[in-house]
Amino acid sequence: MEIYKTSGVCSSEIHFEVKDGYIENVEFIRGCPGNALGVVALVKGLPIEEVINKLKGIDCRNRGTSCPDQLARALEAYIKA
């Protein structure tokens, strides 16, 4: 399980698992539960690159980021590690 500390959003962390380049599981810690569960349901089973391309740059309340964007950033950091 990978853990990513978020910044600028309601959720405090994102926990995720990747297997063979595909999203196995994602859990947002804190934040809006309904939206987080929706994002999780939509990305589960998708390739990492596809999730990054779809979610990167999504903004929430003019903060310059969002929980989906933070997930994209978490996955980018995972790839670079």
Residue type (1 letter), 28:
F
* Mean pLDDT value across residues 28-46: 95
How far is CA 50 from each of CA 55, 58, 73, 75, rounded to the nearest angstrom? 9, 14, 13, 11
- At 42-64, the pLDDT tens digits run 999 999 999 999 999 999 999 99
Domains of the chain, start order: 2-80 (3.30.390)
What confidence score (pLDDT) does residue 52 get? 98
Tell how many helices (H) and how many strands (E) occur in the chain. 3, 3
